A and B are shown apart, each in its own frame.
Chain A
Amino acid sequence: MRRIAIVEDEPAIRANYAEALRRHGYDVATYANRADALAAFRTRLPDLALVDIGLGDDMDGGFTLTRELRAMSATVPILFLSARDSDFDIVAGLRLGADDYLTKDVSLPHLAARIAALFRRSELLAAPPASEDIVERGPLALDVKRLTADWNGRRVDLTLTEFWMVHALARHPGHVKDRDALMRDASIVVDDSTITSHVKRIRRKFLALDPGFDRIATVYGMGYRWGE
């Protein structure tokens, strides 16, 4: 049975999330603060950690905990969950090694789906790729099962949200995807400007590998399009 650690200072949310995840068949351990969580992680690493950024008076306790957990294990999936939704927090969290970031607006089914996907990805990363799960668009190769993206044979380090956005765009090249469609495909509920900054981050990650990358085109007033 997979074990999920929830680090959240708000008792009601902690209990609700724990109950929902238990219903999905996970073993859930909950911690109210960073010290308790860290002590528990030292004796036994969880299979996945759901971390709130603000932990009581410890405003950035979640960030600190992520760094410490990442130092203990490079592979444990870490999912940020926060009331904050500023770009700065998202970028800071992802840079520290978190695998994805969700605001507390997320619904429980979405949360469960996201957790399942993260598990699937970490599980399948080790297994050999099966060709039927690969979506190839020129230099782009998306492994839908492992949720990984490669550009010219090199791995692009995308978060789950970002992977699904790239997948939604690349599946039908030339078709314009509006922001609502991207949100649906990436199963996130955010406002338009967050989509914009997600797309910007995705572009930046591809540009880091290939300075000539220009496949994601903005169609003003409509959305985005994957160009061939």
Chain B
Amino acid sequence: MKTPRIALSIRAQLLLVLTVFLALPWLGVEYVRELERVLRDAQERTLAGTAQAVATALHDRPRLFANPPDPIASFARERAADAGKGSPTLPPSASPEIAQIVEGLSRTTARIWVIDRDGTVLARAGTLKTVPPQVPPDSLWQRIGRATIGRLYALVLEQPTEDFSDDAATQGAPRGRDVEGALAGILTTERRATSDGKATIVSAAHPIWVGDQVRGVVIAEETANAVLAERNRAFERLFNIVLAVLLIGSLALTGYATWLSSRIRRLRDDAERAIDEQGRVREPLASSDAGDEIGDLSRSFSSVLARLSDYASYQEKMASRLSHELRTPVAVVRSSLENLAASPLPDDARIYMTRAQEGLARLTQILTRMTEAARLEQSLSDVELEHFDLVPLVAGCVAGYRLAYPQAELRFAAPAAAVDIRGAPDLIAQMLDKLAANAVEFAAGAPIDIRLDRGADHVQLVVANAGPPLPEGMRDRLFESMVSVRTGGDAGAPHLGLGLYIVRVIAQFHGGNVRADNRADGGGVAFTVTLPLAAAR
């Protein structure tokens, strides 16, 4: 069973590995959250400190709280509040003395209220809304940054705004949980959203003690905008860095992966180019001198190919070397026999002489055939290619075979038009000789069909005989060197299984191929040589 495989390039794999770095933004978010918490605490403590400082200045001064609220002042305040509805008009301080003290202690960013137990505002100072500081004009980069990535941040992050509705400014002192707590004598801090939800207000309320009585409350208020802005700034800077790191990291990894895979691809292409369709080593692989594993791979590829090439050439030269080595002893035997023949011999010795010479002739024929394929391959390197018409060549060859094999019935069919191919006519004729000899041998007297079929960009040369079908499994091996399906027992010409090998060598030399098929009706075997037409090459 084949396991399903996901095909991922090295680049894709490395980018997948890079997703691990997506944990960085998460870490950043956690860090910024922690920072925000610390800042909030600090803000609350500061506000509490402010409230406490103001309260300290007001402790144990009963005179300040002695006066009952002036009804006129109270009325005037309410009128002013009515008149100023919708505009942040300050209610007048009911107590100028307290106002004086509070003014002295107030800070720019915080608003301080002093109220009595009834919630009457005794004094207030400062404002919640701060004027945005004058920023120097942005550089181009900052503008581009704000227009692109800034927008993204704005979507994700809560942006501080000074444009919120400050209810307390118009409706009098706040009466939140913090005031309740302070009235009970405890320093209390509280966060609350504005009524329109656009901002958060942090407030701290501190009781004002006169003796052991709570006579009033100091409330220090501030928006959370400063903390928010600080948080946002930290967040943006962190994300800018993370994004830059991710971008540079992925670019570097992509580049690295591209380089790596291009080297591997080059190695693969080289390796594929080094071996031709028949599995023979075409050219040695140039080994890389890189010191890494890919360099190692290339070197071992190269040495494997070199060894393969050595082995292949050893095999190819085997027959020709064997025949060369055998020629000398054969020449010794031949010349000895011939010298013997020149001297007077008894008649019975003549018989043995004849037999020895017959055996020698066959041995010589075997040796010649053994070298034929090797010599053909050797001669291919300097064959001159020419354009020629295949039809008259095949017709001429068939006419020759009719003379050479008078016992065989040859049928020939070819297209009327010229079939131009580019190649060596001698070699094509030699190839046809082998196919014809093979067909005549297997036809056993039945007719042999030789046919030329012209296709769009190729021509098929078919030589079919009515001989016994090919054994299954032999069809592909038939064209290999030294492979024969003959059953033997033929004492005539020796068979080395080189004829069809020569056919294949010549067909492939012309950019074509050869195959053998049993005829569909089981009535014989058809050899088909396919060659490209001249125009198609």
Contact = CB atoms under 8 A, between A and B. Distances in A.
A20 B371 CA distance: 29
B335 A13 contact: yes
Given A13-B332, A193-B375, A107 B338 contact: yes
A221 B433 contact: yes
A20 B400 contact: no
B320 to A, nearest CB: 8
Interface residues of A, number: 33
Residue from A86, A192, A220 with most neighbouring chain B CB atoms (10 Å): A220
Nearest to B379: A87
A83 B379 contact: no
B342 A23 contact: yes
A87 to B, nearest CB: 6
B253 to A, nearest CB: 56
A16 B335 contact: yes
Contact of A20 (B338, B364, B403): B338
Residue from B375, B398, B403 with most neighbouring chain A CB atoms (10 Å): B375
A109 interface: yes
B234 to A, nearest CB: 84
A12 interface: yes
A86 B378 contact: yes
A220 B400 contact: yes
Interface stretch (B21-29, B118-126, B323-331): B323-331
Interface string A155-194: 0000000000000000000000010000000000111110
A38 B342 CA distance: 32
B432 interface: yes
Classify the interface of chain B: helix, strand, loop or mixed: helix
B534 interface: no
Contacts of B328: 10, 13, 83, 104
Contacts of B369: 191
Given A83-B324, A193-B430, A219-B396, A16 B332 contact: yes
Residue from A104, A189, A192, A221 with most neighbouring chain B CB atoms (10 Å): A221
Given A218-B425, A221-B396, A13 B331 contact: yes
B201 interface: no
B396 A220 contact: yes
Interface in B380-434: 392-394, 396-401, 403, 425-426, 429-430, 432-433
Contacts of B403: 222
19 contacts: A13-B332, A16-B339, A20-B342, A86-B375, A87-B379, A104-B334, A105-B330, A105-B368, A108-B334, A108-B335, A108-B342, A189-B364, A190-B368, A193-B376, A193-B379, A196-B430, A220-B425, A221-B398, A222-B400
